[in-house]
Chain A
Amino acid sequence: MLIVFYLLFSLEGMAQKQRFPKPEFGSGYTQPTPATPEPRALALEYTDVVILLIVLTLASWFAIRKRSRKGLLWLSVFSLIYFGFYRDGCICSIGSVQNISLTLFDPGYAISVTTLLFFLLPLIFTLYFGRTFCAGACPLGAMQDLVIIKPLTMPKWLREILGIIPYIYLAFAVLFAATGTDFIICRYDPFVGIFRMDAQFHMIVLGVAFLLMGMFIARPYCRFLCPYGVLLNWMSRFSKWHLSITPAECIKCKLCSDSCPFDAIVYPSDEKQSNYIKWGVNRFLIFALLIPLWILAGGFAGSKAHTWISRANPTVYLAELLLSKPEVRADQKNLDVQAFLSSGKSMETLVREATLIREKFNSGGMIAGGFLGLVFGMTLLSQITYRKKSDYQPHKGNCFSCGRCMSYCPVKK
């Protein structure tokens, strides 16, 4: 094991370290933290894919067949070390959403096979085995999982409301990636700074804050922020084989009811619910009819807000800055402005480029707004629908397949 780790870290030294440190500190210029680590040999990239495949296979085997919490725990520790600390949190399936978006909207951008596989493999496995990626392969999840000490139960309504945030984050991440603005998932990844030990101070603080919060609110990033989790949630709902609390028939002993730190166990249906069916039917119809209205309103607001949102794009921001404050051209400390001035590019070209990007934001904002409107509409509708449950079951969408609940079940095969 030690030899393997020695080799891994030696390889990292060869593949990633810059030969000379950057000694710039006299001018006050702060070296930007790169969003991605140094490039890596293609063979090593494929090695990453193979390792991901092995980890996903093992995680699925531990969750479905072996039913081993310990197996999943140690697998997640491995993933934390390998995909987190050794691979510096990159390449990562969560961030790959952005690469996919950029590929779809920018014909000049070609996605690598590795990135594509990192995006697809977890989704495919989830479609068959549930979110075993979250259980054993995700370094972000693993890090948060390890610090869970005293998880608190949150009210259902609050969980559901906070559960909308990942959709919003996903919509913005796709919008920003598709317009070539930024990879915000990577930029604001709270844990990548800890993996790399070189993030900006505020990002380190954010990462530590998430870990501290994670002691009591289990896996807060996974539950209330992760945009890739949205896709995994969708896939997992249709998973063919999903982790079950009991290996046989549930005896409703309730021993597992408090076992899930993520509040992802669905209790058997309350009989009293039948009293509300009439009320529910009326409201169902209203909410169903409101969905198109939500989409239209969201699309309209998204489109209208595009001017403001598009300022996140550096080209648009620079053009607007130069137009609204021409005196900034004399500011020698504004490196963006000085870089533009030294590039020889004309103002007309800059404005033209910025206008094109803003147009993309207009249509993209409309789509993103419409998508969020749909999410709100569907979330409302889901509050009216009832499915009768007779057993204690993991929620197929929200369950991370961590396997904690399995050991609580007294029923054996």
Chain B
Amino acid sequence: MEADDKLKFSLNIALVSGIFCITVALLLLLNFMQMSKNKPLESKAITSLVKRLSLEPNNDDLKQEIRNFDLLARKAYFNSQWQVKTGGYLLLFGAIVFALAVRVVIGLNSKIELPKAMDENDMISRIIMQRWVIITGSVLIVLGLVASLASVDHLKKYDVNESVSEMSAAVNHNNIEVITVGRNPVTEPPENGLATTKHIIVNASLTDSSSSKAVPVVSPKIDFPTVNAIKTNSSAFRGPFGNGVFFQKDTPVEWDATSGKNVIWKTAISKKGFNSPVIWGNKIFISGADKQSREVYCFDRNSGKVLWQRQVDKIPGSPDVAPKVTEDTGYSAPSLTTDGNRVYAIFATGDIICFDMAGNRVWGRNLGLPDNHYGHASSLVMWKDKVFVQYDTNKMRKLMALNTSTGETVWETARSGKISWASPILAEINGKFQVVLSTEPMVAGYDVESGKELWSVDCMMGEVGPSPAFGSGLVFAANEYARLVAIDPVKNSKVWDSDEFMPEVASPVSAGGLLFIATSYGVLACYDARSGEKYWVKEDGPGYYSSPVITDNKLYTFDTSGKMRVFEVAKTEKILGEGNAAEKVTTTPAFTEGRMYLRTPNFIYCVGIK
């Protein structure tokens, strides 16, 4: 072949391969864009079919149609992937041919080169070089120093202050001691001269931790509520004893916040809070807080009117600056507890306060700024003359029992586990009440009188949010990424466990020999409480943060979209009714006298059969 022919041939090859490369590259780009836009599982056709399926859950033809569409979408996706890969190889092949052809063309076109002229002055080049080396080196050194000035060493801050919150620095700056041990309360004379006026003011020192020991306090004699009285009311988060089981009848199974169906009343709440209502008699209690202030509210159960609203302030040791908490925990996540004589509230600042039923402050104290990266969330529960506080912080974990009349520490038990956001419950085991806690690594029971650990089973892990439950003689605990465990507290051993469905926030509940779990990804599962046999699973809605509760043989659930579903407490799935709060629900409803009380971000609702 002559040189000219070679040149022409190479040019043609270069041209053809060049066009080939551009075409393949464009097709690849189009394919890439198509793949990015069309996600197989986001197909509109599938979505609409799935929606239809929720209305016609037993339509087998529809299910088959969805499967076919799904398979088609997956095939299309993998086909596109194959096309991209094959196209990539074709492009590479084309590029190699193009490069070789161009090289041949350049080679054939090359002429005899003249020797390179020595036109670069070596000395000038060296001088420029020296200048640039000095500039570059100096810039790098300055950059290093600027980087050091612009960086905040959060790790060092953590080490020095032993705190994860910015609060610690502020508190130290204000010379307010941050301690984890409890201080003595200051009891105050009530405004309207109730029996508690006999309390004396305790001289609580800000710095003397030894003052947490016994201090003589004169307390009035107040009768403790009986078990029946507690069961009649809703004394704590998740009802009597915090166990999720109410003892109310004729509760509503349908309602709608938008249309007002079965809504007896609703009242706006001024301050945000994730705590759930507690009820005694005709009074409903909730709290609200923000970075600046904390409040306790009392509503009339029949009318929804605010009976009283109290600021939580002037508590010795309360931090000037609120600690850092996450948006979804806030400053008043823990629910209150009440014994019918008084109501007790705790906040993310470590402030715990007691009011009587008329709103007179009885005592208030600060338990020490909780070093808690989400914010303190464990609710209170009471029994007889003690209010129990699971006061877990990153530095120290402990269970405290405070005297309901005076707020002073009756006992406190340091615990070896990790920080937990679950709430304590009361369980009657062998005829005696115990405080049961769930945390990593153990689920444990404590004597209500002494705080002594009675039993403990290592079975839990992670950042535990769901509280334990008690039913059928067993304690149930669960946490996402850990396990669902049934424990025999008498034998101090695990009876069964499962890792199929686990809740992140919502607590388990057990009644009628059944156990229910509601997960944050929308699964509601029913198990046999004794054997762990799974009876039914219902997957619907965006997920559960609100704990499922049982009353009147009905299981009440609220998903995070605010949709209520009421199921029969039975081995087979049977939905009894539905409701809608029309806004996000993360709290747990309370029941009394045939009515349901629910807190939403903006309102408190009373729902009953009209």
Interface residues of A (CB under 8 A from B): 21, 23, 25-26, 146-147, 149-150, 153, 155-157, 160-161, 164, 168, 194, 197-198, 201, 253-255, 257-258, 267, 270, 272-273, 276, 294, 297-298, 300-302, 304-309, 311, 316, 319-320, 322-324, 326-327, 329-330, 341-342, 344, 346-348, 351, 354-355, 358, 369, 372-373, 376, 379-380, 383-384
Contacts and interface: CB of A to CB of B under 8 A. Distances in A.
9 contacts: A25-B77, A201-B32, A301-B148, A304-B145, A304-B147, A319-B155, A326-B374, A348-B394, A358-B155
Contact of B374 (A329, A355, A358): A329
Nearest to B164: A323
A305 B324 contact: no
Chain B interface secondary structure, helix, strand, loop or mixed? helix
Interface stretch (B84-92, B280-288, B310-318): B84-92
Given A254-B116, A302-B144, A308 B129 contact: no
B213 interface: no
B373 A25 contact: no
A305 B147 CA distance: 5
B155 A344 contact: no
Given A323-B157, A355-B155, A372-B140, A383 B126 contact: yes
Contact of B136 (A150, A164, A319): A164
A305 B145 CA distance: 6
Contacts of B152: 307, 324
B461 A347 contact: no
A305 B92 contact: no
A323 B461 contact: no
Contacts of B142: 301
B116 A380 contact: no
B304 interface: no
A304 B148 contact: yes
Given A23-B74, A329-B326, A354 B148 contact: no
Interface residues of B, number: 68
A142 to B, nearest CB: 12
Contact of B326 (A25, A330, A383): A330
Given A257-B115, A307-B152, 8 more contacts: A161-B136, A197-B92, A253-B115, A301-B143, A308-B148, A323-B155, A330-B327, A347-B394
B91 to A, nearest CB: 10
Nearest to B99: A147
Contacts of B140: 168, 298, 301, 372
A359 to B, nearest CB: 10
- Smallest CB-CB A-B distances: 9 pairs: A301-B144, A254-B115, A304-B148, A342-B481, A305-B144, A308-B147, A376-B137, A257-B116, A157-B129
B373 A298 contact: no
B165 interface: yes
Contacts of A373: 137
A23 B326 CA distance: 35
A73 B306 CA distance: 89
B106 interface: yes
Contact of A157 (B78, B132, B144): B132
A341 B145 contact: no
Contacts of A253: 115
B328 A330 contact: yes
A342 B99 contact: no
Nearest to B126: A383
B55 interface: no
A229 to B, nearest CB: 19
A170 to B, nearest CB: 14
A341 B462 contact: yes
Contacts of B461: 344
Contacts of A372: 137, 140
A194 B126 CA distance: 38
B481 A25 contact: no
Nearest to B41: A26
A25 B40 contact: yes
B122 A149 contact: no
Nearest to B158: A351
A194 B92 contact: yes
A323 B324 CA distance: 11
A258 B159 contact: no
B99 A149 contact: yes
Given A155-B125, A157-B132, A323 B154 contact: yes
